[in-house]
Amino acid sequence: MAREIANILFVCTGNICRSPFAQGIFTKGAVQQGLQGVTADSAGLLALPGNSATHMAQRVAAEYGADLGEHAAKSVSKDLVSWSDLILVMEKPHEDALLNAFPEATGKVLLIRHFGRFGSRRRGIADPYGLDYDAYRFCFLDIQDAVSGLIDFLSKRSTTFEPIQVTCYAGYKSNESPRSFVWGERMFNITKIVDRWYDSGVDARSQVADYFKVQTDDGGTYVIQYNRLFDSWAVMIR
C-alpha cells in the first residue's frame, strides 16, 4: 500500500538549532509553495524540554524570514514516532540512536540531506551549537537546501501521482513484476509490462524510483511508480 506523508518530524540532538531550523523552513516554504496536508514538528534525542532556540539560531532564522521566537525544545517520544510518517535526522548517529531507542521507527528514518539538491546527499549536517554566526548561517542554508528539495518532492508527489495498492507475483521483491493494482475501489489486472525505467532523482548514484508502463485488462495503459524511499506505489495521473 502507498504510504501517505502527512506528518514529518525533524530530529537533531538538543532541538535548539538544527531541527527548529528545518521545521521553520518547512513551515514557511510549504505555505509559499502551496503544499497542503503536510504538518512538520521537531524534537531532540537529548533535548532539555522547554529550552528555547539559541539566540544565534533565532537571529539567523529571522534574517531569512523564519520565526523561532516561540520555539520550546522537546524530546523524541513514542507518541511523536507513532505520529510521524517520515523522520528526518541531521546525522547518521541520530538515525542509529533513534532506531535503537524506537525500533518501531524502522522504515521511516532518512538523513535530511537525502533531499539536498547540491552536494552529497550522504553526509550529515554539523551542529553549529557554540560556534559563530557564520557556522549558524552555513547550517541554515544547508538545511534550507534539503528542505526545499523535500518540498519539491512532496509537491510533485501529491500533484502528479495518486497512491495505489500493488500485488506482485509470488517470489519477487516488492518492486518487481507487478501483477495487479487497486486504484480507488477498482482492481486493474496487468496484462503486459510495456516498458520499465529508473529515476535516480537528485543523486545519480542513488536509485530512487522504478517506473513501469503497463497495459491492463480494461484496455488501458498506465505508468505506475515504485518509490524505494518510502516503499510505496503510485499511478501517474498527468
- Number of independent structural domains in the chain: 2
Q: Same structural domain for residues 11 and 100?
A: yes
| pLDDT for position 196 | 87
Cα 184 from Cα 214, distance rounded (Å): 18
> Of the candidates 124, 159, 194, which is a domain's last residue?
159
Cα 135 from Cα 187, distance rounded (Å): 53
Name residues whose C-beta falls within 8 Å of residue 100's C-beta, 6 or more positions apart in sequence: none
Specify the higher pLDDT residue, 8 or 235. Answer: 8
Q: Same structural domain for residues 149 and 165?
A: no
Give domain status of residue 220, yes or no: yes
User: Tens digit of pLDDT for each residue in 19-56?
Assistant: 999 999 999 999 988 888 999 999 999 999 999 999 99
Whether residue 88 contacts residue 11, with contact meaning beta carbons closer than 8 Å, is answered with: yes
Q: Same structural domain for residues 81 and 122?
A: yes
> Of the candidates 111, 143, 159, which is a domain's last residue?
159
Beta bridge partner(s), residue 225: 211, 234
User: Tens digit of pLDDT for each residue in 178-201?
Assistant: 999 999 889 999 999 998 887 655
Name residues whose C-beta falls within 8 Å of residue 54's C-beta, 6 or more positions apart in sequence: 16, 17, 129
CATH code for the domain in which residue 77 is found: 3.40.50.2300
The percentage of residues in the chain with a pLDDT greater than 90, rounded to a whole number, is 67
Q: Same structural domain for residues 151 and 192?
A: no
> Of the candidates 109, 133, 159, which is a domain's last residue?
159
Give domain status of residue 1, yes or no: no
User: Tens digit of pLDDT for each residue in 72-117?
Assistant: 999 999 999 999 999 999 999 999 999 999 999 998 999 999 888 7
Q: Same structural domain for residues 123 and 197?
A: no
Give domain status of residue 103, yes or no: yes
The percentage of residues in the chain with a pLDDT greater than 70, rounded to a whole number, is 92
Cα 157 from Cα 5, distance rounded (Å): 10
Give domain status of residue 186, yes or no: yes
Q: Same structural domain for residues 153 and 220?
A: no
Catalytic positions, written as ranges: 12, 18, 127
* Cβ neighbourhood burial of 3 (10 Å; 0-12, 13-18, 19+): middle
Q: Same structural domain for residues 209 and 150?
A: no
Give domain status of residue 2, yes or no: no
Helix/strand/coil percent split, the chain, to 5: 30, 30, 40
User: Tens digit of pLDDT for each residue in 138-183?
Assistant: 999 999 999 999 998 888 765 577 889 999 988 877 677 899 999 9
The range of the structural domain enclosing residue 110 comes to 7-159
Give domain status of residue 174, yes or no: yes
Q: Same structural domain for residues 52 and 154?
A: yes
Q: Same structural domain for residues 81 and 165?
A: no
Grid cell in block for residue 181: 493494482
Give domain status of residue 184, yes or no: yes
Q: Same structural domain for residues 150 and 172?
A: no
Q: Same structural domain for residues 119 and 131?
A: yes
Give domain status of residue 14, yes or no: yes
Q: Same structural domain for residues 122 and 185?
A: no
